[in-house]
Chains A and B, each alone.
Chain A
Amino acid sequence: MNLMQLIINVIYAASIYAVVAYSYYFMYSARKFLNMSHAAIIALGAYLAFEIKKQLAWNIFIVIPFSVAITAIIAITVFLLIFKPLQKRKASSTKMLVASLGIYLVLQNLISLIWLDAPKSLCSWPVKRGHNILDVYITNEQILMIVVSIALLGVLLLFSKKTTIGKSIRAVASDSVLADVSGIDSYAVVLWAFAISSGLGGLAGILIAIDVDMTPTMGMNAFMMGVVTVIIGGVNSILGIALAALLLAITQHFGAWFIGSQWQDAIAFVILVLFLLFKPEGFFGKKVKSATV
């Protein structure tokens, strides 16, 4: 494999990590707990797109927004039915995590029941060989993922800096008590953050499924890499996430080049441990202060 091909592969992998990580970033900012159910939401987005495409035979670019919206609506329903009552009872982050794991298992098994476990493809068009540019191969699906991830970086940066909801989410992430007493309805903000995150999660699932096949458990691997990316990026920074995705992809791919691709996931978790040990605040995050109420 030549170096240029490796670089393209790195950019593609970084794009996947970044899109999944952006999707997780908003909900984690607003309500700090490891929401495992997001892994099922990623898969759900892909399967909903598969079903809509199969039933209505729409163009994939019309299928995507519909599936994203339905995914967000389902995720919000789950939030209102399970996370909201827990939040009202002031459940700890650990209890929320356990609940989210339960939701993940239920959703993932529902996906298995409805669509069965055999791999499915969103790609109804014939598989073509990628474009050959200067001896480097890249497929349309990979180009789509890279373009979406770069566009999302710009859109999300603008969203969080310029819109009221974006600023409110950042304020709640920075200090939720201060946000409350500043007149922000933090409950509504958390709801918005979950809707945005879930929609983006669905989008990430669809983009992954366009390139590779989908299975009911596909969301978990993507989710774990997304979480690693968010932690390395610093939990409060979209730009940090983009950088972390790139760092993760570079070390994984160059590492795999030298020691073998079976070590790719291990490399990612070694980087995570190194960051947790030596730079726990991530690239652009701040050291976490305990807030008093």
Chain B
Amino acid sequence: MLKVNELHTGYGKKPVLFGPSLEISKGKIVAIIGPNGAGKSTILKAICGLIPVWDGKITFEDSCINDSTPAKNVKRGITFCPQGNRVFDELSVNENLQIGGIYLKKKELAGRIDDVLQLFPMLKDRLKQNAGTLSGGEQQMLALGRALIPRPKLLLLDEPSLGLSPNLISTAFERIQQVNRERGTAILIVEQKVRKVLKICHKVYGIKLGKVVFDGQPEQIRHDERLRQIFL
């Protein structure tokens, strides 16, 4: 579904990624793990079109999306939840969900919002409330909900557990698994909570200093010495 081949990119003139390659198939959860500053989030930003690709190739469903903008990628079926479950603080919960499908016709959008509210019924009572006043767990639901409105084929999640209390983190991961199971959405997730993410993913990539240092099934990786070493 998505192939990243020898990706080179960075910020300004500073390179961050030095040719990592990865792949994600339909309906799977793939995790990217690694220490701070390894370039995990940068991979997601390059895929969704927030930063330019310097070299290498990103293909989604057999078309090259190197030069695609975030708006075009949303229409293609790639949505992105930036780090820390960001929501539009000053907009109501309903408006946040509407923004997720801003390009859709009114009727279609209403249907999509109903869909998301079935998945996260807790948001129903909060529709008119400003998103900035929601609790951390509710914001996580809303951030996920907003990204699901376009019915993405691939969902990019950047540290969904960031800023959540320990008991909310487990719920957040259950929710992500639920989205994958019930909707068949492929998920590429960047996480620092390694043990938690290994429980829900089908494949894992270890990144260090902008390069892939290992990849494999979570069961293989869990007891692998390379997993420990990547954080040293």
Which residues of A approach B to under 8 Å, CB–CB?
A: 164, 167-168, 170-171, 173-175, 177-185, 236, 286, 292-293
Contact = CB atoms under 8 A, between A and B. Distances in A.
**Chain B CB within 10 Å — which of A181, A286, A293 has the most?**
A181
B72 to A, nearest CB: 9
Contact of B91 (A171, A183, A185): A171
B103 A183 contact: yes
**Chain B CB within 10 Å — which of A167, A178, A184 has the most?**
A178
Interface stretch (B21-29, B81-89, B182-190, B203-211): B81-89
B102 A168 contact: yes
Secondary structure call for the A interface:
helix
Given A167-B98, A167-B99, A292-B83, A183 B74 contact: yes
B201 interface: no
B80 interface: yes
Given A178-B86, A236-B90, A286-B89, A184 B71 contact: yes
B146 A182 contact: yes
A292 B158 CA distance: 12
Nearest 9 CB-CB pairs, A to B? Answer: A183-B74, A174-B88, A181-B80, A180-B70, A181-B70, A183-B71, A171-B99, A174-B90, A178-B86
Contact of B74 (A164, A174, A182): A182
27 contacts: A167-B95, A167-B99, A168-B99, A170-B88, A173-B90, A177-B82, A178-B88, A179-B99, A181-B48, A181-B50, A181-B74, A181-B79, A181-B82, A182-B74, A182-B79, A182-B100, A182-B102, A183-B70, A183-B74, A183-B100, A183-B103, A184-B99, A185-B69, A185-B71, A236-B90, A286-B132, A292-B83
A10 B204 CA distance: 66
Contacts of B74: 181-183
Interface string B89-125: 1110001001111110000000000000000000000
Contacts of B88: 170-171, 174-175, 178-179
Nearest to A173: B90
Interface of B: 45, 48, 50-51, 69-71, 74-75, 79-80, 82-83, 86-91, 95, 98-103, 132, 146, 150
A108 B133 CA distance: 45
Contacts of A175: 86, 88-89
A119 B146 CA distance: 54
Given A171-B88, A174-B88, A286-B90, A180 B50 contact: yes
Nearest to B11: A293
Contacts of A183: 70-71, 74-75, 100-103, 150
Nearest to A179: B99
Contacts of A174: 88-91
Given A183-B70, A183-B100, 10 more contacts: A170-B95, A171-B91, A171-B95, A174-B88, A174-B89, A175-B88, A178-B88, A180-B69, A181-B48, A182-B79
Contacts of A173: 90
Nearest to A164: B102
A206 B81 CA distance: 45
Contacts of B75: 183
